[in-house]
Structure 1
Amino acid sequence: MKKLTAALLAALLLLLFAVPAFAEIEVEDESYYQKFKGQGISINVYNWGEYISDGAEEGTINVNKEFEDLTGIKVNYSTFASNEELYAKLKSGGANYDIIIPSDYMIGRMIKENMLEPLNFENIPAFKNISSQFVNPIYDPDNAYSVPYTWGTVGIIYNTTMVDGDVDSWDILWDARYMGDILMFANSRDAFAIAQKRLGYSFNTGNPDELEKAAESLKEQKPLVQAYVMDEIFDKMQAGEAALAPYYAGDAITMIADNPDLAFAVPREGTNRFVDAICIPKGSQQQEAAEMYINFLCEPEVGLANCEYIGYSTPNDAAMELLDDEMRNNPIAYPSEEVLQNTETFLSLDDDANKLMDKLWTDIMSTNEGTNQWLIPVFLVLCIVASITINVVRRIRKKRDSMY
């Protein structure tokens, strides 16, 4: 009897362990994801920082872990801070990736330079969930190399307790009243775009004179800038260490949730509307597994989890239907048609324009000169004088009070 019981228990355990451990989220076709189960395959994913639901907060999903549990494919995940950093890493040949998530203009550049693998959309059936307005985009007109991941706009995040008046123009990032309290993009394309739009130029200008004038404007701004940042913006703005910063709308939503003193504004001159999309770089050794990962990111519940966690807007119609009303009606995530009509999409620049912008940006970052550089010592002197004056007044008052 004991032997029979033991045998039954052993059989039961074998059955339990034989059952595949599917992900907790619901996917359309679980069998699709079982192809590589038990084969010890891994993929290398290179994404922006803070740009996927990682389960760090209660009630959120760890997307990569769910994919691993569902497919048996290990995800080696690392992050970059800018498109330019991603591009330089791939150009150097110093690393091999199976998944990258660049922005629109960088995808266009990589297509021109033969840096991406064409996708086999038979392995990405969930692509059907992507909204038609994001299919065949200008940066990938044949929709051969990319699948939209998120989209959004750029605006100004500001601390309402530190900024006076309306924030409705890029000019405020050049306002000397906020010296030392302004953050600026640490990547050339976004920084130049702000200066270009402020001067009335297109984001996509390749005119050398206009690029030179934008560079001069950024040099003029430099003495006012506390720091050039990417992911560092989260800590600085949430902690009230800066008053103003241009950044992406999705991240603004995250920061405002952590610090209610923060707000977001789209300048009247217009702004960038961007799309970040999933691609497979040239030389990937696991293209089919990578396409399975892309398909997973297009699943409605995964798309929902990601856009809820990171705050960015979803191009996935099926995920959009699952969004709650508060997020669907959030004007930061989903701006009005009036705002969207005043946006411009980055396009890939020609080689000469890219080289000139890189050269000008290097010069901006390396120089300490600027037409307003004199403001720094003057400002410091004024602060010292004010401090001395306050202390003298306090001492006089204290002495006077002691006499009575």
Structure 2
Amino acid sequence: MKKLIYAAVGILAVALLLWVGAQHFAHDQDAATGTDKSNRVLNLYNWGDYIDPTLITKFEKQTGYKVNYETFDSNEAMYTKVKQGGTSYDLTVPSDYMIQKMKKAKLLLPIDHSKLTTYKNINPRFLNQPFDRGNKYSVPYFWGTLGIVYNDKFIKASQVQHWDDLWKPEFKDDLMLIDSARDVLGFTLISQGKSVNDTNTADLQAAKGKLDALMPNVKAIVADEIKMYMVQEEAPLAVTYSGEASEMLTQNKHLHYVVPTEGSNLWFDNLVIPKTAKHLKAAYAFINFINEPKNAAQNAEYIGYSTPNTPAEALLPKAIRDDKQFYPAESTMKHLQVYQDLGQTKTEEYNDLFLEFKMTNR
């Protein structure tokens, strides 16, 4: 009986050794082919609610990568965390001027275009922008504009077609502004025939003076709450981003969005690879996945922002792709301006002027 037991133990020991060896061999094979399961991860750092969550699930099932998803609420917060380097993100989604700043700080890896299988789907109009010539460091994700939202129960469309209309006396205490120095000073500069990237101190002071004259019309200067306030009709008029406006319009049929024909901001959010990224295969897999036409169209319909993906735009419902509020006519597009990184000194000057506007006029 003991001999049988010893024999059984021996067989089990041999089997165990063989199994362990097989596992080591499989691990070595996975490592050699880059398929080590511990490396099948994508660390994605994105704005809040800025992707259809079902697409993350689809990506995981389709590729086998596990997505670790974190969010930020401002370009500056994202920049600080990436610069600190505590977490190795594989992809993040900065806006135009911030891409320029991250490039200067050497926080980004160059994009290997030979690994992009769906890059051809991007509309050339949205490539080769001043903040990243040749798209050496970024791939467009979404784009949009800054504009005016109005409620037709209180305001006629003819009353708010231009930035200067916001200064009309009849809009006293009617206007909500997005809490952003760059945007508020930007549309004021445009109303004076200047650039949104103006760095002339005299021009900025003149814009601040004109802004002071707008204050009687300003009901509040707010951030994300602007959506709720407009949907609930707390104010009849607002200045905000096209994506925010899209969400408002779906919740209140009396709201409309206008991009003044004299010009506005054309903004971009692009995918970039931080220099500390550890899962490059996953990063490229995701860029290619999200730019497949069906996926890009699904994402655009979910988010409400404008897609830079030409075949994806064609897949959108006609009511969306023909909506000039969010896909403006060429006559408007040619007057849109893209923000550039102004450098720390001028950025602080914009912020200081905006703070003075908020503090001294309440």
Tell me how far 1:140 sits from its aligned partner: 1.0
Determine which of 297, 304, 320 is the counterpart of 1:304.
Answer: 297
Match of 1:277 in 2: 270
**Aligned 8 A contact 1:64 1:75 in 2:** yes
Residue pairs, 1:340-355, within 5 angstroms: 340-355=333-348
1:333 matched to 2:326? The reply is: yes
SS in 2 for 1:79: strand
Alpha-carbon displacement from aligned partner over 1:261-313 (angstroms, at most 9, x marks no partner): 10111224321222221112232222332222112111111101111112222
Query: CA–CA distance in 1 between the matches of 2:209 and 2:66?
Result: 47
Shift of the 182–92 alpha-carbon distance from structure 1 to 2, 3 Å rule, reads farther
Give the deviation of 1:207 after TM superposition: 0.8
Shift of 1:92: 5.2
Q: CA deviation at 1:109?
A: 2.2
Match of 1:119 in 2: 111
Deviation at 1:363, TM superposition (A): 4.1
Residue 151 (structure 2) pairs with residue 159 (structure 1): yes
What displacement does 1:179 show?
Answer: 4.3
> 1:282 & 1:306 partners in 2: Cα distance?
26
Distance in 2 between the 1:217 and 1:287 partners? Answer: 48
Structure 1, unaligned runs of 5 or more: 1-33, 55-61, 374-404
Q: How many residues are matched?
A: 329
Deviates more, 1:241-250 or 1:173-182: 173-182
State the partner residue of 1:288.
Answer: 281
The residue aligned with 2:120 is 128
Residue 49 of structure 1: aligned partner:
48
Q: 1:82 and 1:193, CA in 2 relative to 1: closer, same or farther beyond 3 A?
A: farther
Separation (CA, whole Å) in 2 of partners of 1:247 and 1:180: 17
What residue in structure 2 maps to residue 18 of structure 1? none
- Give, in angstroms, the shift of residue 176 of structure 1: 5.2
Q: 1:170 to 1:126 in 2, by over 3 A?
A: same
Amino acid at match of 1:154: L
Structure 1 CA distance for aligned equivalents of residues 227 and 340 of structure 2:
27
Matches within 5 A, 1:5-84: 36=35, 38-39=37-38, 41-54=40-53, 62-84=54-76
CA distance, structure 2, for counterparts of residue 42 and residue 343 of structure 1: 38
What is the CA distance between 1:361 and its match in structure 2? 3.5
Note the alpha carbon deviations across 1:371-392, whole angstroms, 9 max, x for none: xx5xxxxxxxxxxxxxxxxxxx
- Alignment match, 2:16: none
2:97 to 93, 101, 105: 105
Residues 157 and 252 of structure 1 are in contact (CA less than 8 Å); yes or no, is this contact kept in structure 2? Answer: yes
1:246 maps to a residue whose letter is V
Q: Could you say if the C-alpha distance between residues 303 and 333 of structure 1 is closer, same or farther in structure 2, counting changes exceeding 3 Å?
A: same
Q: Which moved more, 1:251-260 or 1:171-180?
A: 171-180
Answering whether residue 255 of structure 2 is matched by residue 256 of structure 1, we say no
CA shift, 1:360, in A, is 3.0
| Aligned 8 A contact 1:82 1:230 in 2 | no
**Which one of the candidate residues 175, 181, 199 is aligned to 1:188?**
181
CA–CA separation in structure 2 for the residues paired with 1:277 and 1:325: 25
Note closer, same or farther for the CA distance 1:244–1:302 as it changes in structure 2 (3 Å cut): same
**Which of 159-168 and 234-243 deviates more?**
159-168
AA at the equivalent of 1:306: N
Quick check: 1:43–1:75 contact (8 Å CA) kept in 2? yes
How far, CA to CA, are the matches of 1:126 and 1:210 in structure 2? 43
Alignment partners' CA distance in 1, 2:290 and 2:163? 35
SS at match of 2:257: strand
Query: What residue identity is the alignment partner of 2:230?
Result: M
Deviation of the 1:107 alpha carbon: 1.4
Deviation at 1:141, TM superposition (A): 0.8
What amino acid is aligned across from residue 358 of structure 1 in structure 2?
N
Q: Secondary structure at the match of 1:115?
A: coil
Output the amino acid matched with 2:328. Answer: P
Moved more, 128-137 or 138-147: 128-137
C-alpha contact (below 8 Å) 1:82/1:187 kept by paired residues: no
Instruction: Give me the TM-score of the superposition, normalised by structure 2.
Output: 0.81
Secondary structure of the residue aligned to 2:159 is coil
Measure the CA separation in 2 of the matches of 1:329 and 1:355.
Answer: 39
Q: Which residue of 1 aligns with 2:164?
A: 171
Give SS of 1:128's match: helix
Aligned with residue 145 of structure 1, among 137, 162, 167: 137
RMSD: 2.6
Contact 1:40/1:72 (<8 A) preserved: no
Question: In 2, Cα distance between the equivalents of 1:266 and 1:155?
Answer: 5
Map of 1:356 onto structure 2: 349
Sort the Cα spacing of 1:124 and 1:270 in 2 relative to 1 into closer, same or farther, 3 A.
Answer: same
Counterpart Cα distance in 2 of 1:304 and 1:251 = 18
Alpha-carbon shift at residue 314 of structure 1 (Å):
1.6
Q: Which deviates more from structure 2 when the two are superposed, residues 234-243 or residues 165-174?
A: 165-174
- Which residue does 1:203 correspond to in 2? 196
Task: Rate the CA distance shift 1:252–1:37 in 2: closer, same or farther, 3 A.
Answer: farther
Find the aligned partners of 2:334 and 2:64 in 1 and give their Cα distance.
44
Local SS of the residue matching 2:135: coil
SS for the counterpart of 1:39 is helix
Return the alpha-carbon distance in structure 1 between the equivalents of residues 215 and 87 of structure 2.
Answer: 34
Q: How far apart, CA to CA, are the structure 1 residues paired with 2:252 and 2:82?
A: 36
Aligned 8 A contact 1:174 1:224 in 2 = yes
Secondary structure of 1:125 counterpart: coil
| TM-score normalized by the length of structure 1 | 0.73
Residue identity matched to 1:98: D
